Structure 1
Amino acid sequence: MRRLPRVITISVLVATFSLPAGCGSGTEEPSPARPAADRVTYVTGFGTFGREAYVYVAQEKGYFREAGIEVTVQPGQGSGENLAAVLGGRAQFSAIDFTATLISAANGKADGAVAVAALHQRTLAALMTLEGSGIGEPADLEGKTVADAASSVISMMFPAYAKLTGVDREKVKWVSLEPAQLAANLASGQVDAIGQYVVGEPTVRNAAKGRKVTVLPFGEVITDLYGSAVTTSATLAKDRPDLVRKFTGALLKGLAYAVDHPQEAAQILLKRQPAMNAESAAAELTLMAPYVRPSGGEPIGAMSRERVERAITALRTAGAFETAPTPESVVAFDLLPAG
């Protein structure tokens, strides 16, 4: 539990919702030949990078349409903001890092939010820096400046990560940037490191014009953590379990297709988000594939009460919180994908 990480160096409740579409959003057009569909808003985990392509795949392939759902997609700003969108009714579903949900729940800021499927079976949280930054291991972070989105799970997790790696977190300066600004600010030397999912390395390397990227993965220090999870409100989970199951099933179908066909998924993303880099997007999806499917033949999206309990214990032991949430308060186990 206390071992230092390996440093990797590499080159809504009814169908009558009326919901606004955000910048860069995608909405399926209703067909007059079919009944009125349930209309929901989905917020991506973090911007519109390659790792988020699966929701656009689910739209493009008609998986949502087949389930009788019309989906508006809005770019996410990080777990904290995404959680607020779900709890405030601005979105019915979002990709939210499950560790952020646990930490927020322990602090009384996630009451009424529940995970209904794991998008990643292991946490992807990490810090990234570039060759020449002077950062090669966690201790080197002291005296440096780290940037991330204001409500990112990585900043939430950092105190526990610092404790377990012996870093004085008071000696690390954090600044807030928008998701799209992180890689560019790192490449230009405005900051020394950034919070990123491990799958974001190709995007960071592309922004840095091929410079080597050093990755400090949190999951090698804080074990048993899930990554992002499809999250909704407890009210919607209770009142419309059919809608939750249909949406989750269609989204996970898109996820499976995206990681199995990363090049095609990247092109689909590019149609919806022309500013994205298709090569980096495909590379992100390729890196994400091992994190998506559970071991032991369980279905994509699976979560277990025992594993959630272990994650809670790991975070509490690491000092992330004192009063722990119960697994049932943060996961709707009856709505998880069944094999």
Structure 2
Amino acid sequence: MSVFSRLAARSAALGLGLGIAFGAVAPAVAATDIKMVLNWKYQGPQAWFFMAQDKGYFKDEGLNVTIDQGEGSAASVIKVASGAYDAGFGDVNALIDMAAKRPESAPVAVYMMYNTPPFVIAVKADSPIKTPKDLEGRTVGGPANDAALKLFPVFAKTAGVDAGAVKISNMAPNLREQMLLRDQVDAVFGYINTVAFSARLVGLDPDKDLRFIKYGDHGMDLYSNTIVFSRKFVQEHPEAVSGLLRAVNRALNETVADPDAAMDYVMKREPLLNREIEKERLLATLQVEMNHPEIKTIGFGDVDPERLKRTIAVGVQANELPRTPEPGEIFDNRFLPARDQRASSL
């Protein structure tokens, strides 16, 4: 054998050995991409999403998650239904409405965040509006995609208000509290903590300067914001859905344990936010909107099927929806982390 033949043989053997060695290492599995839209602009009560992303919890689950700001909780559901996003943080009542009208395109809720109704109509403390009935003949304003505004027909029917006698005025979200302050509207729709803390930014003290008519005080003990996924994504990537929920749940537990540290991830997204106000908003959301007594028995993130049925029934009756979705069409708890990993109180 010539020297060239011996070299070729040695090279072939070496190449075979390297091939076996490298073949023993499994090829990297591509991360699953998830496009997610939030309920609103960057705020304190989104800290767990940012933490899960920045601390690599999504990556640990084999996910590549991009997170965009939202334009309202109802709008987030619509954006997921349209296919623009795989997942969203949106209002379950908007989901119920869509599931009744277009079940084939409606997303599905998988992790309940706001388990206590946050919907309110806010008025100035000296307003003559004392009861829901006093709204008749008045102008109530809100962003077009605001969930409380979307639910107003339901609230009006439940509270005995003639909805046709109430004038609705739409405005940009950043003008809501200013227009109330200037008496350009008589009242505004919103989430209680969104209105209260935004009011502080325009010089109002919500405890002294505002009063709130709460939907929950008038027969509307409804669920609210939830993580939703498109049905297509759920069918094609069920493990990715479970992975995202594990990552968010992990970050939520850390947020509850150390809210101040969690705020670092919010401020990283938007350094111009007022950190102290956003931290207070975060704490208020944890204590009020996310702390329904039922989680002591079912754990955070899950729903009570009977309560969800009532939520569905309220929306169907008040909005005269064409069909009544089954609870299983609205919420799927198969992807939740184990019960012992989910909080029993916040």
The TM-score, its normalising length taken from structure 1, stands at: 0.81
Provide the C-alpha distance between the structure 2 equivalents of 1:59 and 1:181, rounded to a whole number of angstroms: 31
Provide the C-alpha distance between the structure 2 equivalents of 1:132 and 1:287, rounded to a whole number of angstroms: 24
Provide the C-alpha distance between the structure 1 equivalents of 2:119 and 2:105, rounded to a whole number of angstroms: 23
Max radius of gyration: which structure? 2
Q: Would you say 1:258 and 2:252 are equivalent positions?
A: no
Q: Which of 230, 235, 239 in structure 2 is aligned with 1:233?
A: 230
Provide the C-alpha distance between the structure 2 equivalents of 1:238 and 1:313, rounded to a whole number of angstroms: 27
* 8 A contact 1:262–1:283 mirrored in 2: no
Say which SS state the counterpart of residue 225 (structure 1) adopts: coil
**Map of 1:246 onto structure 2:** 243
**Map of 2:110 onto structure 1:** 116
**Map of 2:332 onto structure 1:** 332
Structure 1 alignment gaps of length 5 or more: 1-33
Root-mean-square deviation (CA), in Å?
2.4
Q: Which of 52, 56, 63 in structure 1 is aligned with 2:50?
A: 56
- TM-fit CA distance, 1:317: 4.6
Residues 267/131 of structure 1: CA separation in 2 closer, same or farther (3 Å cut): farther
Greater shift, 269-278 or 314-323, is seen at 314-323
The equivalences for 1:129-278 within 5 A come to 129-211=123-205, 212-278=209-275
Provide the C-alpha distance between the structure 2 equivalents of 1:279 and 1:325, rounded to a whole number of angstroms: 42
The equivalences for 1:25-44 within 5 A come to 36-44=30-38
- TM-fit CA distance, 1:320: 5.5
**Map of 1:89 onto structure 2:** 83
Provide the C-alpha distance between the structure 1 equivalents of 2:260 and 2:124, rounded to a whole number of angstroms: 26
**Map of 1:311 onto structure 2:** 311
**Map of 1:75 onto structure 2:** 69
**Map of 2:4 onto structure 1:** none
Q: Which of 119, 123, 128 in structure 1 is aligned with 2:122?
A: 128
Q: Would you say 1:292 and 2:286 are equivalent positions?
A: no
Provide the C-alpha distance between the structure 1 equivalents of 2:32 and 2:216, rounded to a whole number of angstroms: 37
Provide the C-alpha distance between the structure 1 equivalents of 2:106 and 2:196, rounded to a whole number of angstroms: 36
Say which SS state the counterpart of residue 47 (structure 1) adopts: coil
- TM-fit CA distance, 1:322: 5.4
Structure 2 alignment gaps of length 5 or more: 1-27, 340-346
Provide the C-alpha distance between the structure 1 equivalents of 2:105 and 2:149, rounded to a whole number of angstroms: 21
Provide the C-alpha distance between the structure 1 equivalents of 2:283 and 2:67, rounded to a whole number of angstroms: 22
Residues 208/180 of structure 1: CA separation in 2 closer, same or farther (3 Å cut): closer
Say which SS state the counterpart of residue 46 (structure 1) adopts: coil
Say which SS state the counterpart of residue 90 (structure 2) adopts: strand
**Map of 2:277 onto structure 1:** 280
* 8 A contact 1:79–1:96 mirrored in 2: yes
Q: How many residues align?
A: 306
* 8 A contact 2:146–2:190 mirrored in 1: no
Kindly provide the CA deviation profile for residues 245-275 of structure 1, in whole angstroms up to 9, marking residues without a partner as x: 1112212322333344333333321221123
Residues 295/173 of structure 1: CA separation in 2 closer, same or farther (3 Å cut): same
Identify, as 1 or 2, the structure richer in helix: 2
Aligned residue identity for 2:299: P
Aligned residue identity for 2:61: A
- TM-fit CA distance, 1:238: 1.4
Provide the C-alpha distance between the structure 2 equivalents of 1:184 and 1:271, rounded to a whole number of angstroms: 27
- TM-fit CA distance, 1:35: 5.6
